[in-house]
Amino acid sequence: MNDQVLITGFEPFGGDVVNPSWEVARTLDGRRIAGRRIVARRLPCAFRTALPLLFDALDGLKPRCVIALGLAGSRSAVSIERVAINIVDARIPDNLGAQPVDEPVQAEAPAAFFSSLPIKAISAGLREAGLPAEVSQSAGTFVCNQVFFGLMQHLQATPGIRGGFIHLPPLPEQAARHPGARPLSLVQQVQAIELAVAITLTRATDLRLAAGTID
């Protein structure tokens, strides 16, 4: 491992012309947070090609921690994901036209992997900074969840590297395409991920507080 932090974002998909996950990642590329250098990589929104590119980045960089970012167009808060599930069930085609249904991310793998980020501390820290944030119990069943699952499975072989997934709400320029969400500016989204990285690098353990759901 070295002093780098890998942050990934996705290319636009589903008719959008921008994806906040990549805009945030590339804005942070090259910055230093808590003494660690941020390295950004863009992933395709495609089931066949996203994980190989992620694994190449992991094996080449050997980062200290990894935070994968994605767009959740229906959400109004920065969503720190708790669990990745071993299922792909695509409501829309990916950017290569693939639309798998009820397929595992990885055959013979566990049903789920949990994030190793301090998810509750990140959520609390963002809210303290005046940013909308939540612990999310589902990363969906599209390419975001596939990348989250693949990341956490890959990290099983490299103990000591923390990793996880954070969903971002739309940007203001995406408001018309995502009317049910409250957009968050790029400046705010960058601030949120800067804080998430800093908290991850400086906290050895997570907070113990209620962040679950009833239904």
3-state secondary structure at position 30: coil
Q: Are 6 and 26 in contact (CB under 8 A)?
A: no
Determine which one of 23, 65, 81, 134 is catalytic: 81
- The question of whether 65 is a catalytic residue gets the answer no
Determine which one of 23, 134, 144, 178 is catalytic: 144
- The question of whether 144 is a catalytic residue gets the answer yes
Which residue type sits at 8? T
Q: Are 40 and 26 in contact (CB under 8 A)?
A: yes
Rounded Cα gap, residues 115 and 165, in angstroms: 7
Q: Locate all alpha helices (DSSP H) within the chain, ordered by sequence.
A: 20-28, 50-61, 119-128, 143-155, 186-202
Q: Are 186 and 193 in contact (CB under 8 A)?
A: no
Which class for 176: exposed (0-12), middle (13-18), buried (19 or more C-beta within 10 A)?
exposed
3-state secondary structure at position 143: helix
Catalytic positions, please? 81, 144, 167
